[in-house]
Amino acid sequence: MRESDTIDVGIDLGTTNSAIAVVEDGTVSVVKNNDGWDITPSAIWLPKPDTIHVGRRARSRVGFDPDNAAAEFKQEMGLADARKEFVSAGRSLTPQELSAEVLKSLRADAAHHCGAAPESAVITVPAAFTLNENKATTEAAELAGFGPSCPLVQEPTAAAFAYGFHDSSDRGYWMVFDFGGGTFDAAVVSKRDGDLRVLNHSGDRYLGGKLIDWALVERVLAPAASAELGLRDLRRDNPKWRAVLARLKEVAEEAKIQLSRSAQFEIQTELNDGRGGAWTFEYTLRRDQLDSIAEPFYVRAINLCRDGLTEASLKTDDIDRLLLVGGVTLSPGLRERLADPRHGLGIELDTSLDPTTVVARGAAIFASTIRRPRATPVAVAGEFVAELSYEPSVSTLTPTAAGRIIGSSTTDWTGYSVTLANPDGQPPFRSARIALNANGAFATEVDIDADRTSRFTVELTDDTGTRRKLTPDTLSFTYGIEFGGPRIAHSLGIQLADRSFAPMVRKGATLPTKARDYFRTSSELQRNDSDAVVRIPVVQGERSRGDRNREVGMLEIRPRDIRIDLPAGSEVEVAFEIDTSSLVTVVAVVPLVEAQFEAEINLDNVRPATVQALEVRLREVEDRFSSLTASALSPEAQRRLQKLDGENALQTVRDQVRMAKVDVGAAAAAEDRLRDLEAELDDIEDAAGLPALVRQLQGLIEEAAGLVEQSGSPADRQELTEARRRSQDAIDSGDAAAMRTQVERVGTLLVRLEQRSPDWPVKLFYGLIEVLPPSTQVNSLIREGKQAISARDTRLLDAVNQRLYRLMPQAEQEKFIGVVKA
Ligand code: ADP
Ligand code: MG
Mean pLDDT value across residues 758-778: 82
Which ligand lies nearest the alpha carbon of 159? Answer: 2
Distance in angstroms (rounded) separating the CA atoms of residues 32 and 788: 90
Task: Write down the pLDDT at residue 39.
Answer: 97
Q: Which of 109-113, 486-490, 789-793, 794-798 has the highest mean pLDDT?
A: 109-113
Average pLDDT, the chain: 85
Q: Residue whose CA is closest, atom 19 of ligand 1?
A: 327
Asked if residue 443 lies in contact with residue 400, where contact means CB atoms within 8 angstroms, the answer is yes
Question: Is the model more confident about 582 or about 509?
Answer: 509
Distance in angstroms (rounded) separating the CA atoms of residues 716 and 722: 10
Q: Is the pTM of this model over 0.75?
A: no
Which ligand lies nearest the alpha carbon of 38? Answer: 1
pLDDT band for position 809 (cuts 50, 70, 90): low
Dihedral angle computed from the Cα positions of residues 555, 558, 561 and 562, in that order, rounded to the nearest 10 degrees: 110
Mean pLDDT value across residues 45-52: 94
Task: Write down the pLDDT at residue 813.
Answer: 32
Q: Which of 64-73, 347-356, 537-546 has the highest mean pLDDT?
A: 347-356
**Centroid of ligand 2 to alpha carbon of 12 (angstroms):** 7
Q: Is 124 in the pocket of ligand 1 (CB under 6 A)?
A: no
DSSP tag of 34 = T
Task: Write down the pLDDT at residue 243.
Answer: 79
pLDDT band for position 485 (cuts 50, 70, 90): low
Distance in angstroms (rounded) separating the CA atoms of residues 351 and 333: 15
**Centroid of ligand 1 to alpha carbon of 325 (angstroms):** 10
Q: Is 326 in the pocket of ligand 1 (CB under 6 A)?
A: yes
Residue 260 Cα: closest atom of ligand 1: 24
Please check the confidence at residue 1 and state whether its pLDDT lies above 50: no
Mean pLDDT value across residues 575-583: 80
Question: Is the model more confident about 756 or about 541?
Answer: 541
Please check the confidence at residue 811 and state whether its pLDDT lies above 50: no
Mean pLDDT value across residues 224-247: 84
Backbone angles phi, psi at 268, to 5 degrees: -150, 120
Question: What does the pLDDT look like over 636-676, one tens digit per residue?
Answer: 788 888 877 778 788 888 888 887 777 767 787 888 888 88
pLDDT band for position 595 (cuts 50, 70, 90): very low
Task: Write down the pLDDT at residue 594.
Answer: 54
**Centroid of ligand 1 to alpha carbon of 213 (angstroms):** 11
**Centroid of ligand 2 to alpha carbon of 97 (angstroms):** 19
Q: Is 253 in the pocket of ligand 1 (CB under 6 A)?
A: yes
The residues that bridge with 46 in the sheet, in sequence order, are: none
Q: Is 41 in the pocket of ligand 1 (CB under 6 A)?
A: no
**Centroid of ligand 1 to alpha carbon of 254 (angstroms):** 10
Which helix or strand (DSSP H or E) is residue 321 part of?
strand 321-325
**Centroid of ligand 2 to alpha carbon of 479 (angstroms):** 27
Dihedral angle computed from the Cα positions of residues 466, 469, 471 and 474, in that order, rounded to the nearest 10 degrees: 60
Of 232, 278, 270, the closest CA to residue 250 belongs to: 270
Q: Which of 77-81, 308-312, 432-436, 630-634 has the highest mean pLDDT?
A: 432-436
Please check the confidence at residue 35 and state whether its pLDDT lies above 90: yes
Residue 209 Cα: closest atom of ligand 1: 14
Q: Is 794 in the pocket of ligand 1 (CB under 6 A)?
A: no
Q: Residue whose CA is closest, atom 3 of ligand 1?
A: 181
Which helix or strand (DSSP H or E) is residue 28 part of?
strand 27-30
Please check the confidence at residue 320 and state whether its pLDDT lies above 60: yes
**Centroid of ligand 2 to alpha carbon of 638 (angstroms):** 37
Q: Is 16 in the pocket of ligand 1 (CB under 6 A)?
A: yes
Peptide linkage before 809 cis (omega within 30 of 0): no
Q: Strands 152-154 and 9-13, how do they pair?
A: unpaired
Q: In what order do the strands lie in the sheet with 571-578?
A: 597-600, 584-590, 571-578, 513-521, 819-821
**Centroid of ligand 1 to alpha carbon of 328 (angstroms):** 5
Question: What does the pLDDT look like over 80-99, one tens digit per residue?
Answer: 778 899 999 999 999 999 99
Mean pLDDT value across residues 548-558: 82
Task: Write down the pLDDT at residue 604.
Answer: 65
Question: What does the pLDDT look like over 340-378, one tens digit per residue?
Answer: 999 999 999 998 999 999 999 999 988 988 888 776 677
Peptide linkage before 296 cis (omega within 30 of 0): no
Mean pLDDT value across residues 4-27: 91
Task: Write down the pLDDT at residue 364.
Answer: 94
pLDDT band for position 812 (cuts 50, 70, 90): very low
Indicate the top mutation candidate among 30, 42, 328, 356 to test ligand 1's pocket, ranked by most ligand atoms within 8 A of CB. Answer: 328
Mean pLDDT value across residues 478-485: 66
Task: Write down the pLDDT at residue 814.
Answer: 35
Distance in angstroms (rounded) separating the CA atoms of residues 150 and 166: 25
Q: Is 359 in the pocket of ligand 1 (CB under 6 A)?
A: no
Asked if residue 178 lies in contact with residue 222, where contact means CB atoms within 8 angstroms, the answer is no
Please check the confidence at residue 816 and state whether its pLDDT lies above 60: no
> Among 459-463, 479-483, 712-716, 725-729, which is the least confidently predicted range?
479-483
Task: Write down the pLDDT at residue 567.
Answer: 83
Distance in angstroms (rounded) separating the CA atoms of residues 275 and 173: 58
Burial of 406 (0-12, 13-18, 19+ CB in 10 A): middle
Backbone angles phi, psi at 254, to 5 degrees: -60, -45
pLDDT band for position 482 (cuts 50, 70, 90): low
Please check the confidence at residue 396 and state whether its pLDDT lies above 90: no
Which helix or strand (DSSP H or E) is residue 298 part of?
helix 287-311
Question: What does the pLDDT look like over 177-207, one tens digit per residue?
Answer: 999 998 898 999 887 766 677 777 888 878 8
Q: Is 14 in the pocket of ligand 1 (CB under 6 A)?
A: yes
Question: What does the pLDDT look like over 397-445, one tens digit per residue?
Answer: 888 888 899 988 878 898 999 999 999 998 999 999 999 998 899 989 9
Task: Write down the pLDDT at residue 815.
Answer: 43
Burial of 770 (0-12, 13-18, 19+ CB in 10 A): exposed
**Centroid of ligand 1 to alpha carbon of 327 (angstroms):** 3
Please check the confidence at residue 677 and state whether its pLDDT lies above 80: yes
Please check the confidence at residue 789 and state whether its pLDDT lies above 50: yes
pLDDT band for position 170 (cuts 50, 70, 90): low
Q: Is 15 in the pocket of ligand 1 (CB under 6 A)?
A: yes
Q: Is 181 in the pocket of ligand 1 (CB under 6 A)?
A: yes
Distance in angstroms (rounded) separating the CA atoms of residues 730 and 715: 22
AA letter at 91: R
Indicate the top mutation candidate among 17, 177, 259 to test ligand 1's pocket, ranked by most ligand atoms within 8 A of CB. Answer: 17
Please check the confidence at residue 34 and state whether its pLDDT lies above 80: yes
Quick one: what percent of the chain has pLDDT higher than 70? 93
**Centroid of ligand 2 to alpha carbon of 679 (angstroms):** 28
Residue 179 Cα: closest atom of ligand 1: 6
**Centroid of ligand 2 to alpha carbon of 202 (angstroms):** 15
Q: Which of 250-259, 451-460, 558-567, 614-623 has the highest mean pLDDT?
A: 250-259
Which helix or strand (DSSP H or E) is residue 718 part of?
helix 714-733
Distance in angstroms (rounded) separating the CA atoms of residues 431 and 428: 10
Q: Which of 281-285, 397-401, 497-501, 670-674 has the highest mean pLDDT?
A: 281-285
Task: Write down the pLDDT at residue 38.
Answer: 96
Task: Write down the pLDDT at residue 420.
Answer: 95
> Among 207-221, 299-313, 333-347, 586-600, which is the least confidently predicted range?
586-600
Residue 39 Cα: closest atom of ligand 1: 7
